[in-house]
């Protein structure tokens, strides 16, 4: 008798817990990525994606009316707030936004169970109704359903926070981004190709941006062009930014990373710091001071030069073992 009562109590607790998780998630909400905390589920041109939010359009695309599941009212479906009657569904494995179709397939594809998060039980993972064991996850910025392979990366990519809908306070135009603005490849004194660097940064490190900045004298014209080709190939707009630059590497005055130029120069042809500064100004380049203090007369002790003040956006504060990646 005691055993029977205990089992009934266990069932009751489970039912109450599931109902609580479900009921609190209905209405207008935004869905925040667990491992890319500044990114949210949204739709772009019919595709389900995760991106950062910095405009009113981003805000609208990342706000959903979460309703009882179209195919099972103990599950959920995601209706776009700015496209009423259109829902996120899976099709061919990808999450897309399609307007309502009165078919069982559509309803099944647009229905997901809100389970405890695979990476954090205080959060949510969404399991497909008609593909049990497959969850919504992000990969390279896009959303898919995929079977849980038990890996930590899968758990991280398929866990989300359901939060209040984004407001103007969330879209002040400023966001935090994580990446690397100083890296080298086999074109100078690093390892691997630019393509391998961009791919690692995007798919393994989870960076928002990555720059390849090989040394000026060691990179050939062809390698300079190839770096741009690789940057363009691996960029994912709204999710991952790639940058091509080079490092002016003067043995006496210091090193400077240079961006936003179609051509390169080197420390021999611009051996005087003033000549280099004039080149930056002429090319409308963007530049950052690298590892200051390492050379004796680094950047003329950072003496202010008004004509290139607008060209410099930053100064490096960590390098190699004290800041840069070595993945």
| Per-residue pLDDT in tens (0 to 9) along the chain, 327 residues | 333 333 333 333 333 334 445 556 789 999 999 999 889 999 999 999 999 888 888 899 999 999 999 999 999 999 999 999 999 999 999 999 999 999 999 999 999 999 999 999 999 999 999 999 999 999 989 999 999 999 999 999 999 999 988 876 676 556 667 899 999 999 999 999 999 999 999 888 888 899 999 999 999 999 999 999 999 999 988 778 999 999 999 988 889 999 999 999 999 998 899 999 999 999 999 999 998 767 667 788 888 888 888 999 988 877 665 444 444
E strand or H helix at 7? helix 2-23
Tell me the CA end-to-end span of the chain in Å, nearest whole number. Answer: 60
Domains of the chain by residue range:
2-170, 179-322
CA separation, residue 259 to residues 68, 78, 193, 244, 281 (Å): 50, 42, 19, 7, 12
Which letter does DSSP use for residue 130 in this model?
Answer: S
* Element at 226 (helix H, strand E): helix 221-234
For domain 179-322, is the CATH number 3.20.20.140? Answer: yes
Exposed, middle or buried: residue 104 (CB in 10 Å: 0-12, 13-18, 19+)? exposed
Ramachandran bin of 256, using left for φ above 0, alpha for ψ from -120 to 50, beta for the remaining angles: beta
133: Cβ–Cβ under 8 A, 6 or more apart, which residues?
Answer: 127, 147, 148
Q: Nearest to residue 126, comparing CAs of 149, 158, 101?
A: 158
Give dist(CA 53, CA 42) in Å, integer.
9
pTM of the model: 0.54
β-bridge partners, 61: none
Closest CA to 219 of 276, 251, 258: 258
Supply the CATH classification number for the domain 2-170: 2.80.10.50
Token pair, residue 141, equals 């910025």
Beta bridge partners of 89: 96
């Amino acid at each position: 008798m005691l055993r029977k009562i205990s089992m009934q109590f266990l069932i009751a607790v489970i039912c109450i817990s599931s109902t609580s998780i479900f009921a609190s998630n209905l209405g207008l909400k935004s869905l925040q990525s667990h491992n890319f905390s500044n990114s949210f589920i949204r739709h772009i041109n019919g595709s389900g994606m995760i991106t950062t939010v910095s405009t009113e359009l981003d805000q609208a695309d990342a706000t959903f009316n979460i309703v009882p599941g179209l195919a099972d009212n103990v599950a959920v479906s995601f209706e776009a707030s700015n496209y009423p009657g259109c829902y996120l569904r899976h099709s061919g494995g990808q999450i897309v936004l399609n307007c309502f179709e009165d078919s069982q397939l559509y309803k099944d594809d647009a229905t997901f169970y809100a389970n405890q998060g695979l990476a954090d039980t205080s959060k949510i993972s969404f399991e497909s109704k008609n593909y049990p064991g497959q969850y919504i996850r992000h990969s390279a910025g896009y959303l898919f359903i995929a079977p849980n392979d038990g890996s930590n990366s899968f758990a991280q990519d398929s866990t989300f926070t359901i939060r209040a809908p984004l407001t103007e306070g969330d879209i002040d135009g400023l966001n935090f981004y994580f990446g690397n603005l100083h890296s080298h490849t086999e074109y100078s004194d690093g390892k691997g190709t630019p393509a391998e660097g961009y791919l690692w940064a995007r798919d393994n490190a989870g960076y928002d941006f990555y720059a390849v900045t090989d040394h000026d004298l060691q990179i050939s014209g062809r390698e300079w062009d190839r770096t741009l080709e690789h940057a363009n190939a691996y960029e994912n707009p709204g999710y991952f930014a790639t940058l091509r630059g080079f490092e002016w590497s003067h043995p006496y005055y210091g090193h400077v990373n240079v961006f936003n130029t179609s051509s390169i120069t080197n420390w021999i042809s611009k051996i005087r710091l003033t000549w280099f500064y004039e080149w930056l100004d002429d090319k409308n380049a963007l530049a950052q001071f690298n590892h200051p203090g390492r050379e004796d007369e680094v950047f003329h002790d950072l003496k202010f030069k008004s004509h290139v003040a607008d060209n410099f956006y930053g100064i490096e504060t960590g390098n190699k073992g004290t800041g840069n990646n070595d993945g």
